[in-house]
Amino acid sequence: MDNDLKYKIIKPNKALSAFVDSFWFLHNQSDSDKETIGLPDGRIDLSLFKSAKDPFRMVLLGLNAQALPATIPANTLMFVVSFKLPAVEYIFGERISDIIDYGKICSSGFWGFSEIDLLDFDAFVEKATKKIESLLPLEIDPRKAALFELIYASKGSIPVKELSEKAAWSSRQINRYFNDQFGISLKAYCNILRFRASLEHIAKGKLSPEENFFDQTHFIKEIKKFTGVVPKELLKNKNDRFILLSSLTVL
């Protein structure tokens, strides 16, 4: 990763693992803005950030379904909790279908966070963990629990029909739930997870499909659909413009 960009990730404890993917921070330590391209990763992000030009803000980002250009302002510091989809209903208790490829600013004092929480990442993780633990549901719909366990364990590689059968939940009902809650179909979401898993292989220089793609042509087509470039060009990652890919090389 660019020497001006500092990145760290921490995985959640077992109690949170069904709802939280990770805690991470990104710090642009330079006095220059960094142009980047955000890639779909199947996560919902709660971000605390500020920069030399921007005041402290908290933003909830919905699912990203396409590559989107973005700028990381000079001297930006960002602490993030990345959530899995079950958190939408069971932790936040609200739909995010209206913020696909978009985000919304959280109210002041949301979850008790403020600018002072950007002083210490480990303390932020501890505070966020305690808050989320206090919001954990006593139980969740067993069909949803089974479905999400299958989706994440397979990294999106199981066909919708098979997911439906194993979760004992009709594909029509599943897609109604997904579109209503998240603004995306189950198949589209699984494609994002499969793409995200492929990035881990590409980051290691592997340019042939290792996930559930039909063939090399299908693999190249899917990578280009989500990034705008073919795998070979993605691997070059000129100027570290694909931050998600760059982060995988430091994990």
Highest mean pLDDT among 23-32, 123-132, 192-201: 123-132
pLDDT of residue 198: 84
The gap from C-alpha 138 to its chain's centroid, in whole angstroms, comes to: 25
The verdict on domain 5-135 having CATH code 1.10.10 is: no
| Tokens standing for residue 245 | 């890919």
Give the Cβ contact number of residue 24 at 10 Å.
21
At 25, is the pLDDT very low, low, confident or very high (cuts 50, 70, 90)?
very high
Q: What is the pTM of this model?
A: 0.89
> Helix axis angle, 171-182 relative to 186-202, nearest 10°?
70
Residues 6+ apart with CB under 8 A from 121: 8, 23, 25, 79
Kindly report which listed range (26-40, 142-156, 165-179) carries the lowest average pLDDT score.
Answer: 26-40
At 10, is the pLDDT very low, low, confident or very high (cuts 50, 70, 90)?
very high
Q: Which CATH architecture has domain 142-248?
A: Orthogonal Bundle (1.10)
Please give the mean pLDDT across all residues of the chain. 89
pLDDT of residue 203: 76
pLDDT of residue 241: 67
pLDDT of residue 106: 95
pLDDT of residue 67: 85
Return the H-helix or E-strand segment holding 79. strand 77-83
pLDDT at position 248 over 60: no
At 53, is the pLDDT very low, low, confident or very high (cuts 50, 70, 90)?
confident
At 1, is the pLDDT very low, low, confident or very high (cuts 50, 70, 90)?
low
Hey, is 217 helix, strand or coil? helix
pLDDT of residue 250: 43
**Mean pLDDT value of segment 125-145:** 97
Q: Which amino acid is at 14?
A: K
Q: Where are the domains of the chain?
A: 5-135, 142-248
Of the candidates 61, 85, 78, 82, the residue with the CA atom closest to the CA atom of residue 128: 82
Q: pLDDT tens, 96-126?
A: 999 999 899 999 999 999 999 999 999 999 9
